[in-house]
Structure 1
């Protein structure tokens, strides 16, 4: 990746320029049997659409704080990069009552209602499906995002030295996030072509790094597994082989 990249959105742009067709995120939900593979180009398109939703329809911008109440999921990864593209600070598992807006999965809707700002709900159904009945007081992400533009340009430049992520009580600027991601990638020996299998939740830096940021910083890809405990040891080894996994964190 480019040494000049200072935000996660920069890392994604570099990945797109280098090889848009290669896989970036392969997602498994072992409770439902879902498998989704997103190339760099497809992932970046989802990020652009989500950033346009965030900046346009939700009127979010630099300095705003978003409480992200989502599990390790490919759509969670999209939101993390979309927020970076706009300059919105993501608070992982943050208090919705103190946030400017909240993004929630189906299991945290009651907590998310404490947010006085915009609320977005994700059904987390296979293929990005919508809720059968939209939750009251929330925008259904699967309904709103398809019509958004495929290209994104921020209204204001994103400051690499502004807060980008709060996780586990630690606040990181965008530049610090990129630096830590590169450091983690180096410690694990990740390089272009590496395939990292992660079964960690997105509720810690370790989970976010292994499941998204370190592979992105290294030009590698991630096999992100939710509900990995549902998988037998034999089935896990078969997945490691079939997905050509080079590193695993479970």
Structure 2
């Protein structure tokens, strides 16, 4: 039996690193995350190398500028977006527990898109705002009490090393699984991602299109973790409710999608 992709990975960050190894079954130069926002016409495509560079910069921002540590919890008030995927992997690279859709008042830091800024004000710790504008643009005016991610991240280092090794047994993700709130360690997150990849029939040639939210396990599995565990790639689509079936089919064909979810 062929060993699964990244069989030695015990944390989600190690799944990403497996894409970059020489001889990997996944080509680090091919698209890993493709993102569409159909309200703006935006399309962004990131190879594994480029995505990893964004993750490294964001992890450096977390660790060095925001003083985040493996004991911290980050509430992520973000849609399914390429920058949301970057933040998830950055948290896991540092060892911070990611809490998509979490309560800011209970978190050590909060990362919010424009729609969550009012709620994010309740966080007692560091607050980061993402404009989610095309081309990673900044806010026209930085929200009071927040760092503007697009202004802060470019100056961060392109390589990342955690101050202490990430513990696979520490909580990495707090999410809803079948409607029930669960705290998953890094190892459990990877194990569930592998189970999802097997159930969905994914391999390194798969390309998954997802319109699901990242606020529960089903969306995280479809739009990020199961493809990572298989060495596959994703196409994330936001604000796509107005697309006709013909338009969907055109996108599926042009992006060489092998599985549509949501």
The TM-score normalised by the length of structure 1 is: 0.99
Across the aligned residues of Structure 1 and Structure 2, the Cα RMSD in angstroms comes to 0.7
1:75-102 deviations in Å (ceiling 9; x for gaps): 0000000000000001111111111000
C-alpha distance in 2 between matches for 1:230 and 1:63:
42
Aligned to 1:220: 232
Once the two structures are TM-superposed, the CA of residue 210 in structure 1 deviates from its matched residue by: 0.3
Aligned to 2:61: 53
C-alpha distance in 2 between matches for 1:44 and 1:230:
32
Aligned to 2:247: 235
Aligned to 2:132: 124
After superposition, residues 14-53 of structure 1 pair within 5 angstroms as 14-17=18-21, 18=24, 19-53=27-61
Aligned to 1:166: 174
Aligned to 1:180: 192
Instruction: Specify which of 4, 7, 14 is matched with residue 10 of structure 1.
Output: 14
Is 2:217 aligned against 1:205?
yes
After superposition, residues 142-161 of structure 1 pair within 5 angstroms as 142-161=150-169
| Secondary structure class of the residue paired with 1:245 | coil
C-alpha distance in 1 between matches for 2:239 and 2:10:
32
Give unpaired runs (5+ residues) of structure 1.
Answer: none
| Residues 32 and 51, structure 2, Cα contact 8 Å, conserved in 1 | yes
| Residues 7 and 175, structure 1, Cα contact 8 Å, conserved in 2 | yes
| Secondary structure class of the residue paired with 1:81 | helix
| Residues 31 and 230, structure 1, Cα contact 8 Å, conserved in 2 | no
| Residues 211 and 222, structure 1, Cα contact 8 Å, conserved in 2 | yes
Is 2:257 aligned against 1:245?
yes
| Residues 29 and 49, structure 2, Cα contact 8 Å, conserved in 1 | yes
C-alpha distance in 2 between matches for 1:202 and 1:148:
26
The TM-score normalised by the length of structure 2 is: 0.94
Aligned to 1:68: 76
